[in-house]
Amino acid sequence: MGEKLFRQTLPTEAVCGDAIIDMGQDKSVLILIQHCRDMKQQETRLRLVTLLLLLSCTALFIFTICANLWQHGNSGSSGQECAVEPSPAYSKQESPTANPQTNTQKLHIDLTSLGAANKTDGLYMKWHVNFGDQDNKEKSAIVIPEDGFYFVYVSIALSCNEGDFNRFYVELRNWNEAYPSTRPVMKTWDGCTSEGAKSVFLGQLFELSKGDNLSVWIGEGYELISTSSFGAYLA
């Protein structure tokens, strides 16, 4: 009899244990489902906040562009009114073309050498004016009209003949009525080593005074010169 009761209680305990296990699994599933729902809600909220921030930045950007355009439009209209109605002080100013000082500031003279019948050494080169009028034709020199810094250049093309070495020497000289002694301010030695054309260039920035006369003196190798140019302009 006792054995029968014991045998009957075993299935009942087993059934209760399975029920407890089943109830625990259902609770875990419910917690997992609730967690997924919470995550989806948070994700939805983040997306909404991101969208609102994006819309706010776009609106601020558009507002900034419109404000700049409006400001430039107002400044342009005010500048146009100023141009139409200049102040009396401005209307009394002289035109730049009527100011001789401004014309002097634009000095640029360029000369080209003339063919010399006598190409002996120790002579000043003669020049033809390409443009500019600040030159002394009698003394074949460039005359500086005003004090300032001037870039002066001399470019000479040599025609070298086959044979012995031919030397060439040139000086840029300067003189002024205030100090009439002539002095070289730029010079160079060169020469021909083979047949053909060769170029010699001198260029330098000088601080010159009004009345300075610049001229090119050939000390040796005048007969080698084929063409040359000489000029100065205010830096």
- Report the CATH number that the domain containing residue 124 is assigned in CATH: 2.60.120.40
What is the pairing mode between strands 148-160 and 213-220?
unpaired
Position 13 scores a pLDDT of 47
Residues 108 and 208 in one domain: yes
Position 33 scores a pLDDT of 87
Domain that holds residue 4: 1-93
pLDDT tens figures, 141-172: 999 989 999 999 999 998 887 666 788 999 99
Whether this prediction's pTM lies above 0.95 is answered by no
User: Are 113 and 126 contacting, i.e. CB atoms less than 8 angstroms apart?
Assistant: yes
Residues 120 and 207 in one domain: yes
- Domain termination residue (choose one: 58, 74, 93): 93
- Domain termination residue (choose one: 62, 93, 124): 93
Cβ neighbours, 10 Å, residue 70: 10
CA dist., res. 123 & res. 220, Å (int): 9
Amino acid at 76: G
Residues 116 and 158 in one domain: yes
CA dist., res. 3 & res. 13, Å (int): 16
Taking 70 as the pLDDT cut, the residues of the chain under it are 1-25, 71-106, 115-118, 133-139, 162-164
CA dist., res. 225 & res. 155, Å (int): 11
CA dist., res. 153 & res. 37, Å (int): 87
Residues 87 and 134 in one domain: no
DSSP run (H or E) holding 95: none
Position 228 scores a pLDDT of 93
Which residue has 């706010």 as its token pair?
A: 56
Position 14 scores a pLDDT of 45
3-state SS class at 86: coil
Which residue has 């010699």 as its token pair?
A: 200
Residues 81 and 127 in one domain: no
Position 81 scores a pLDDT of 41
- Domain termination residue (choose one: 23, 58, 93): 93
Which residue has 């330098």 as its token pair?
A: 204
Residues 61 and 89 in one domain: yes
Nearest to 214 by CA among 156, 171, 155: 171
Residues 86 and 5 in one domain: yes
Position 212 scores a pLDDT of 93
Q: What is the DSSP letter of 98?
A: G
How many domains are there within the chain? Answer: 2
Position 116 scores a pLDDT of 62
Residues 12 and 84 in one domain: yes
The angle formed by the CA atoms of residues 98, 104 and 110, to the nearest 5 degrees, is 130
Residues 168 and 218 in one domain: yes
Residues 106 and 12 in one domain: no
Contacts for 104 with CB less than 8 Å, ≥ 6 apart: 145, 146, 234
Residues 23 and 115 in one domain: no
